[in-house]
Amino acid sequence: MTTQPSPFASSPIVLDHPLIRHKLTRLRKVETSTAGVRRLVRELSLLMCYEATRDLPMETVEITTPLETMQAEQLAGPDVCFISILRAGNGLLDGMLDLVPFAPVGHIGLYRDPETLEAVEYYLKLPSQISSRRCVVVDPMLATGHSAAAALTRLKEKGAKRLLFVCLLSTPEGIACLKEHHPDVPVITCAIDRGLDEHGYIRPGLGDAGDRLFGTK
Ligand SMILES: O=P(O)(O)OC[C@H]1O[C@H](OP(=O)(O)OP(=O)(O)O)[C@H](O)[C@@H]1O
Ligand SMILES: O=c1cc[nH]c(=O)[nH]1
Ligand SMILES: [Mg+2]
């Protein structure tokens, strides 16, 4: 089994590929329908998964092509799992599972108290052996950072050691929060927006990710 040196830096990795920037622009638009939001978030999650799995360990196996036998590479076992922060995190899961269909999935249910903006946990179900897996934590939004920080704290309490946080939109405040509380956890994001408004919404943002994905409100 071979492991590449980790490409993840201590500051957030901003995915600025033209396809990501284009799809993010369409996602942000207020007129994009629920169906459109779902499709765009799924497409973006495929592109984000490509980056989030960049350093997964590989192994060499012998295979036979139609012409000869060769030594070829494959992923070295179920090293990775995904953790979705409910609800909106589930919007990112489908694309990730298309690319890594064998990965176990954990869920942590968190909502933001609208007054305090603190994260309130209401559900937790994790795969076995999270202490030996790379845990890719997914949530479209890193706003104050309270939800992501609470999720990462809980996962560490449960034994997770190798964590990565993947989001669509982030803010300087959210990134600072994760840097303070979880400096060991790399962050992958598609954009760092201007900041937060008085209700804790990301500006310019894309609105409430859960409501836009699930057609609520
Ligand atoms: O960084 P924070 O300030 O904590 O905000 C980000 C959180 O807010 C949203 O969830 P929300 O609380 O709206 O729950 P939902 O997914 O059920 O809509 C989002 O999906 C994050 O989990
Ligand atoms: O802008 C924001 C902030 C937190 N959660 C969202 O869904 N959107
Ligand atoms: Mg919400």
- The pLDDT confidence band at residue 79, using thresholds 50, 70 and 90, is confident
Nearest-CA residue for atom 5 of ligand 2: 208
Average pLDDT, the chain: 94
Q: Where are the domains of the chain?
A: 13-214
- The CATH class of the 13-214 domain is alpha beta
4 or 72, greater pLDDT? 72
Residue 205: CB within 6 Å of ligand 2? yes
Beta carbon of 41 within 6 Å of any ligand 2 atom = no
Dihedral, 148, 55, 169, 154 alpha carbons, nearest 10: -10
Q: Once rounded to an integer, what is the mean pLDDT over residues 72-89? A: 93
- Which of 28, 202, 217 best tests ligand 2's pocket when mutated (most atoms within 8 Å of CB)? 202
Q: What is the pLDDT of residue 9?
A: 56
Q: Which ligand is nearest to the CA of 120?
A: 1
- CB of 89 sitting under 6 A from ligand 2: no
Q: For 129, list phi and psi in degrees, rounded to 5.
A: 55, 40
**Among the listed ranges 2-11, 99-108, 120-129, which one has the minimum average pLDDT value?**
2-11
Q: For ligand 1, which residues put their CB under 6 angstroms from it?
A: 85-88, 110-112, 117, 119, 139-148, 174, 200, 208-210
pTM equals: 0.94
Asked whether 185 and 163 are in contact (CB, 8 A), the reply is: yes
Binding site feature residues: 87, 112, 139-147, 202, 207-209
Report helix angle 18-28 to 34-52, nearest 10. 150
- Whether 177 and 145 have beta carbons less than 8 Å apart is answered as yes
Cis amide linkage into residue 57, ω under 30° from 0: no
208 CB near ligand 2 (under 6 Å): yes
Joined tokens for residue 134: 């790379």
- For the record, the structure tokens of 23 come out as 């799809």
Positions annotated as catalytic residues are 112, 116, 208, 211
Q: Which residue lies with its CA nearest to atom 9 of ligand 1?
A: 141
Percent of the chain with pLDDT over 70: 95
The 3-state secondary structure of the chain, one letter per residue: CECCCCCCCCCCEECCCHHHHHHHHHHHCCCCCHHHHHHHHHHHHHHHHHHHCCCCCEEEEEEECCCCEEEEEEECCCCEEEEEEECCCHHHHHHHHHHCCCCCEEEEEEEECCCCCCEEEEEEECCCCHHHCEEEEECCEECCCHHHHHHHHHHHHCCCCEEEEEEEEECHHHHHHHHHHCCCCCEEEEEECCEECCCCCEECCCCCHHHHHHCCC
Predicted confidence (pLDDT) at residue 165 exceeds the cutoff of 50: yes
Span from the CA of 25 to the centroid of ligand 2 (angstroms): 16
